[in-house]
Structure 1
């Protein structure tokens, strides 16, 4: 600061001191004011710069506040919001009901496919009802008023409950099926009859653009069970209802309601129609076709047993065989360590899709029957969710594996071999493999690594089961329309149906106790170590996962 500047500053301080003391004469006020004026005039340039800089910073701050967050910040904020509020529900849907999720940049690790995340039915119904959908009071004479969320009755979060006469319908999911020449909406439910009769039913098909729904009759009812297996009053059986979609080339239904008696009846159920995208695939006979394979598994129930090591070995073996995705259902009956292991495969690895499910509780105490019926429901949900993504879908349990034999080392090579042998059929619904037991009662080979259950158990019973007992299949999802856990129950008219695969080509290896204990000794069990073809790579892959999980 210059000497002159110091003097000016000192004069101002003296003036202010005098004013505060109240001891300065009136003329001195005027002189002090002139001194302040001169001082401000001398410092006008620095003051203008300071004020201008502050204004510029304020403008920049407001502009930055309007910009979208960075990728990392957006990903972190979105994931924390989803976990904190409602798992599986997009954060945008929670903050702004009715808006679809939009990801500008995909996350580094894909936890789940967007099409497999459940939409918020409550939000969809409320949002659409406020717009230009079919309006009108339920007391009016309007045909098929738009369904109200408040009229739906949930047996549990996964099932909507409707009673018709002495029957109970528990609606689970709906799917858009464009495989047939006339595309259909398929409604999967549990119904308290296995033989019928069923009351006249209609589908009310609602679209995103609102307006009146299409009202079409149910054209087919398929039950995933035979009454000779068990017909217990009060238990609900997996049932699929079909409704043909009018003008499928123009629009796809967003919602479906099943109503009874009259097609105009107010709906007491509403299901979002799952519309799996059809991938761009090479023609069936193209050399570029890669025969993609997935696996459907029932609910996992191991509440008191840690099966982490078994799950790692099983999943890694499926990966070596060429499986691209395993779909299983979590009903909340897993130990903490098993859940942690499966979370690795679902959230980090991506091989596993673990779908939460709440089992339908009914009055009957026959849990064995109810669990088997629940399995059928899950297998068909898996089939219809993945029917366009895979060329074949396997249906088997976590203690089972369909094993190619001889020089065949993958499902792709196995299926190609079977297609070449199947000269009498160009549209085979399923290839089914005979069951053979590798029971724990037959001792493990001590020369093999004991921490790997399947690798060390290489002795099996001598004979395969009959072709009609406990088989497991690889299904062509373009042809199968309803499946049981052991075989397809319905398939399209152009299909030849299932094929019994010769046991020298492939077999279904079952790692559990036998049904007939006599087979543990007679005929004499045999060594079957075909799994050792995968030993080196399987052990390496499993140990790598063990290290990732921090196992010693």
Structure 2
């Protein structure tokens, strides 16, 4: 009995030792495999950096081709620049280096410092010359030829912030795994009596713009770095293959230089002007009274300029906007992006438009509003938006403020018109939504949900629809208290039907502050353009009796 018990105990101890040894062995093997993986990764990363990429030395392009490489997040290499001279006489590109930094020309011997591992050297004169038949564009969608997937570029801007000098291109391409592309930076110099086009070519870095719903294509930034010895180019082309001729030509917009803005710091506004950015107008947009109300009310609020993008607009709105363009109040840019909205890219590529407007406005306007045509930022105590911003600057600490966020309030169109509509003598007044609809939802949306904002463009890197995604370091968003101002949003129920009007509501007549002046300015614009643009006759204001009949019929219709 005792012998049997002692044997069982020894067996159990033996098994326990076996399990302990096995556990120790498994742990050792795990760390061994883990260490091997880490070592392998480090080894291959090092090899990848040594055996791929593009290096340029004094006018020759050393090019190692690797079809499978799509590593676009790496920082720009220091030496990957090409120099190309195109003109009546082909010369060594070393001669133009001094010109680009403002020094007399001096010949630099052509020395090939390319590493031994580079497998192919492309000479400068093998690259296609400047396309003389191209018209430089200040903003239009152009194709990047030779790419496997859709790739379009719209506009280009010089961006020198954060101690980084880049040409920032507004573009649209594949959301995941975009293709490698190159920037050809074009310069113009005089060679005797002839104008000569020279270029420097650099590999681009792509940055996908957020809020793309993970659709196939997305708005993006194409970044072209400028080294210290390069001045700002006249134009830029984006190419997918170096030996392919450019199929796009974008003017490099340098608002910092054009505005002669000499601010002592980023916290000094260039000029006290306000601009408005609106996403692309589509579905043959032709609401003539709405567009005039939007422009005239925002002008009363202190806005100086409006930037619109024409996807598809109707004849009356086109005529109205043309009139504002002639006055310098509106910029209207073509927006023919060959991507299917909501299937391939979000809402006509609106984030490319918003960010184009951001950079187009930079150094031209101290503040910009990114809003839709049915939205207005209305101050509660100030008459204008510049007064509101000044009020906030004195009331709150706004030293690091890059944007001012305003909470959204829905003024549902299904709610009855304000009773004062019946007393309006001018039919223009009764056709203005900000005067007709004064009942709004009591509960405001929190910031970042349906909110809109006013931003200081020089402090913003990437603009979103409802909030700023990225600021210059050290800056952020100020959530404006609702008692100072809110966003008035005039629309139908957001989820369809009419259930939204059952929610708690309140009457808000803040916009009536502008009743007389808004009616007058819209009336003047209407009378001046009604025959020229073929505008529709405004609907006459309803009578009280007619409105009572309609109110009685509404419950029956709902049943």
Q: CA deviation at 1:281?
A: 6.5
* Cα pair distance change 1:506/1:270, threshold 3 Å: same
Match of 2:399 in 1: 426
From 319, 325, 350, give the equivalent of 1:375. Answer: 350
Cα displacement string for residues 27-50 of structure 1 (whole angstroms, at most 9, x for unaligned residues): xxxxxxxxxxxxxxxxxxxxxxxx
The two structures have a TM-score, normalised by structure 1, of 0.65
Q: CA deviation at 1:435?
A: 1.2
1:312 aligned onto 2:297:
no
Match of 2:213 in 1: 230
From 227, 233, 244, give the equivalent of 1:246. Answer: 227
- Kindly report which structure 2 residues correspond to 1:246-395, keeping only aligned pairs within 5 A, or say none: 246-247=227-228, 251-259=231-239, 269-276=248-255, 277-280=258-261, 291-301=272-282, 303=284, 306-334=286-314, 336-347=315-326, 349-358=327-336, 360-362=337-339, 367=342, 370-372=345-347, 374-395=349-370
Match of 1:540 in 2: 520
Q: CA deviation at 1:202?
A: 4.1
1:213 aligned onto 2:190:
no
Is the 8 Å Cα contact of residues 438 and 510 (structure 1) preserved in structure 2? yes
* Cα pair distance change 1:414/1:283, threshold 3 Å: farther
Helix, strand or coil: the match of 1:176?
strand
Is the 8 Å Cα contact of residues 142 and 154 (structure 2) preserved in structure 1? yes
* Cα pair distance change 1:252/1:141, threshold 3 Å: closer
Q: CA deviation at 1:534?
A: 1.2
Q: CA deviation at 1:478?
A: 0.6
Alignment gaps of 5+ in structure 1 = 1-127
Helix, strand or coil: the match of 2:401?
coil
Helix, strand or coil: the match of 1:429?
strand
Match of 1:173 in 2: 155
The two structures have a TM-score, normalised by structure 2, of 0.64
Q: CA deviation at 1:326?
A: 0.6
Residues of 2 paired with 1:538 and 1:434: CA distance? Answer: 24
Match of 1:108 in 2: none
Root-mean-square deviation (CA, aligned residues, Å) is 3.5
* Cα pair distance change 1:306/1:288, threshold 3 Å: closer
Is the 8 Å Cα contact of residues 455 and 532 (structure 1) preserved in structure 2? yes
Is the 8 Å Cα contact of residues 192 and 237 (structure 1) preserved in structure 2? yes
Helix, strand or coil: the match of 2:338?
coil
Match of 1:103 in 2: none
Match of 1:190 in 2: 172
* Cα pair distance change 1:167/1:300, threshold 3 Å: closer
* Cα pair distance change 1:253/1:298, threshold 3 Å: same
Cα displacement string for residues 114-151 of structure 1 (whole angstroms, at most 9, x for unaligned residues): xxxxxxxxxxxxxx955567799x99664655344789
* Cα pair distance change 1:465/1:157, threshold 3 Å: closer
Residues of 1 paired with 2:294 and 2:413: CA distance? Answer: 16
Q: CA deviation at 1:201?
A: 4.5
Is the 8 Å Cα contact of residues 404 and 477 (structure 2) preserved in structure 1? yes
Residues of 2 paired with 1:179 and 1:139: CA distance? Answer: 33
* Cα pair distance change 1:206/1:133, threshold 3 Å: farther
Cα displacement string for residues 395-443 of structure 1 (whole angstroms, at most 9, x for unaligned residues): 11111111111x21111111112223442x5232211111111111011
- Kindly report which structure 2 residues correspond to 1:39-58, keeping only aligned pairs within 5 A, or say none: none
1:531 aligned onto 2:511:
yes
From 502, 510, 523, give the equivalent of 2:481. Answer: 502
- Kindly report which structure 2 residues correspond to 1:129-208, keeping only aligned pairs within 5 A, or say none: 130-131=87-88, 142=125, 144-148=127-131, 158-164=141-147, 166-193=148-175, 195-196=176-177, 198-208=178-188
Residues of 1 paired with 2:474 and 2:223: CA distance? Answer: 18
Match of 1:414 in 2: 388
Residues of 2 paired with 1:306 and 1:144: CA distance? Answer: 47
Match of 1:6 in 2: none
Residues of 1 paired with 2:181 and 2:283: CA distance? Answer: 39
Q: CA deviation at 1:168?
A: 3.4
Residues of 2 paired with 1:158 and 1:134: CA distance? Answer: 34
Q: CA deviation at 1:298?
A: 1.6
Helix, strand or coil: the match of 1:485?
coil
Is the 8 Å Cα contact of residues 169 and 190 (structure 1) preserved in structure 2? yes
Is the 8 Å Cα contact of residues 134 and 145 (structure 1) preserved in structure 2? no
Match of 1:446 in 2: 419
* Cα pair distance change 1:488/1:337, threshold 3 Å: same
Alignment gaps of 5+ in structure 2 = 1-84, 94-120, 190-195, 425-429, 538-559
Aligned length: 402
From 462, 476, 479, give the equivalent of 2:459. Answer: 479
1:491 aligned onto 2:471:
yes
Cα displacement string for residues 469-494 of structure 1 (whole angstroms, at most 9, x for unaligned residues): 12111111111122122222222123
Larger CA deviation: 538-547 vs 175-184: 175-184
Residues of 1 paired with 2:266 and 2:132: CA distance? Answer: 47
Residues of 2 paired with 1:473 and 1:133: CA distance? Answer: 52
Cα displacement string for residues 228-255 of structure 1 (whole angstroms, at most 9, x for unaligned residues): x52233xx2110022232247x732012
Match of 2:7 in 1: none
Residues of 2 paired with 1:333 and 1:189: CA distance? Answer: 23
Helix, strand or coil: the match of 1:547?
helix
Is the 8 Å Cα contact of residues 203 and 243 (structure 1) preserved in structure 2? yes
